Amino acid sequence: MLGAARVIDQINEVLQQRYSGDISIFPRHTPRQLLRMFSNLSADELRRYIREGEQATWPKLERIRQQTQISRTFEDGLVWLKNRDRFSGGASLKPRGRTDRRTGSASLH
C-alpha cells in the first residue's frame, strides 16, 4: 500500500506543476504505462519511452522552429534597442503621456 501512495503523490506533484508554453508534446500512453513511468524502468522500457517521445515530437518540429525563430527575433530586437540606447547617450524609446483609450497602449513620441 505504501508503494501505491508514493506513486499517487508523484502523479499529484506532476499534475500540480505549472506549465507554460505554446507547444505540448505528449506521447499517447495507457494509464498503466503512465503509472509505470514512476517506477524503476528497465533499459528497454526507457529506450521505448524515449523513442515514443521522439515520435511525438517529429510532427511538431516545424512549429517549434517557428516559435523559436519568433523568440530569437524578439531577443535580437531587444539587444538592438539596448545597444542603440547605450550608443545614443541615454535617449531611449519610452512612452510619454499619451495612451490610446481603445487599446490601452502608449504612443511613442
The pLDDT value given to residue 108: 47
Question: Cβ(23)–Cβ(64) under 8 Å?
Answer: yes
Could you write out the DSSP letters of every residue in 16-42?
HS----S--------HHHHHHTTS---
The pLDDT value given to residue 103: 58
Q: Which residues of the chain have pLDDT under 50?
A: 95, 107-109
What is the pTM assigned to this prediction?
0.45
pLDDT digits (tens, 9 = 90+) for 5-16: 777 777 777 777
Closest CA to 67 of 26, 24, 27, 28: 24
